[in-house]
Amino acid sequence: MKNNKLILTFMVIFTLLLLAACGQDDSTTEKTTTPSEEVVWEENLLNPDEPTKVTFYSYSLGNASMKDGVEKLINNFNETIGAEKGIVVEGVVDADYTKSRTDIQSGLQVDIIQQTFPGLDGARNDLGVVAFEDAFPQEELDAHLEGIPDTALQLGVIQDKMYGMAFTFSTPILYVNGDIFEQAGLDPTVAPKSWEEMFKMAKQIKEKTGIYGLALSPSNSTGWVSDSILYSGGSEILNEDKTAVVFDNKNAISTLETWKQFYAENVAIGGTDTDAVQAFLSGNAAMHLQSTSLYSGFKSTAASAGWDLYGYAMPGFKGEESIPTNSGSAIAVRPDSEQKAQAIWEFVKYITGNEGYTTITKDIGYLPLRPYLAEDENYLKSFVDENPIIKLNIERLSNIKPATIWPGETANEVQQLYLDMFDKALTTDRDVAEVVKETQEEINLLLE
């Protein structure tokens, strides 16, 4: 029976991996976006007697671990605010991020897209996604965005406008199997303070138990963890105006050489995200870097298998704290009329409001982008108190740096070259500096 539970958990989490991997203090600013032509709504165009239909294309609806939470958001809205104001939201499964694109190309109206961050600029160019400042009145935006850290709001900003409102995301969490740590003579309540210390721990674990010390995919799906690792090592990825990559530098090379040691000395397992998660869940790796979207699955597996789960912030390099980046998604919008814009805005306000983020955190596992909810008994206080890993994730919002949004029409091709760089530099015999230099040159040719 226990084995069946474990197998079910594996299946759910592997499906999630294909879809989910998909920067200041917690204060907010009065105006975090830049208006162009002012949007003004002179009258309410919504009518409960003639409801406005809104389509919401969501990859989470195609995932077993997230589906119930997103359906709950849609149903609760339709039964309350939607019924009162005359809005019906229809969820559309967009499991591999392609249905929204093909439907738009076919001439169908796609109103809201759950958009991954790396492809946001591509969606702006190719899919007609519009800036929030160009779709909704600035006064409405300012009022609703109050209470969300500016660091979170900046994640979906391109050229000073918000093309994606942060929706579901996490920072990198270092998960630890406490039992394996103890078998290796390590204290699982003490987190590694640096990658150098984590390497020593991983080596000790492998020598004492024969188990891998770390499970981490070099490319980690969208590369969001890799972004965090490079930033933490002191490198930038894109230049300020996003016209060229700039990771061919001594800090990035040194960081990758430290990371490469784990694979070169066989104390870490790489492969795909699925391989890494399977290794951690099955007890074949003691540590794993991943988002909190998998926290509930890790927690239930640990309870079923009888081992203790711990979670910590990803360590930094050479005594410095790490710089977290974000996984997950943003809400992108494509209203085709003022009436549709009003309907879309009501739904966006709900799913990114107090009730929405309470559901997102409790039922899916992602960060509540309204940190005050963690202190409110009516929302998330008891849940966060019982799940300290969620509290840790919230605390990391204070210095989060946006995961890379690849620019323009070549975004997909550029992202793939970037991901391939980690596989080549970390898991082959090739010289790290040579691979980094080669990749930077290839990407910059595409960005010219």
Helix (H, G, I), strand (E, B), or coil: what is residue 269?
Answer: strand
Q: Which one, of 4, 5, 8, 6, lies nearest residue 281 by Cα?
A: 6
| 137, 350, 424 from 42: Cα distances, Å | 10, 22, 57
β-strand pairing of 52-58 with 285-290:
unpaired
354 CB neighbour count, 10 Å cutoff: 17
Q: CA 440 → CA 5, 119, 180, 239, 250, distances in Å?
A: 45, 19, 39, 12, 14
Token pair of 229, please? Answer: 């690792």
pLDDT tens string, the chain, 448 residues long: the values are 444 444 444 444 444 444 444 433 333 333 344 444 689 999 999 999 999 999 999 999 998 778 999 999 999 999 999 999 999 999 999 988 899 999 999 999 999 999 999 889 999 999 999 999 999 999 999 999 999 999 999 999 999 999 999 999 899 999 999 999 999 999 999 999 999 999 999 999 999 999 999 999 999 878 999 999 999 999 999 999 999 999 999 999 999 999 999 999 999 999 999 899 999 999 999 999 999 888 888 999 999 999 999 999 999 999 899 999 998 899 999 999 999 999 999 999 999 999 999 999 999 889 999 999 999 999 999 999 999 999 999 999 888 999 999 998 888 899 999 999 999 999 999 999 999 999 999 999 999 8
Q: Which domains does the chain have, with CATH numbers?
A: 18-170+327-399 (3.40.190.10), 172-323+410-447 (3.40.190.10)
Tell me which residue of 220, 196, 134, 161 sits closest to 403, measured CA to CA. 220
What's the CA gap between 191 and 270, in Å, rounded? 21
Pairing type for strands 268-269 and 212-215 reads: parallel
Backbone φ, ψ for residue 427 (5° rounding): -120, 10
Residue-wise DSSP of 112-152: EEEEESTTHHHHHHHS--B-GGGTS-HHHHHHHHTTS-HHH
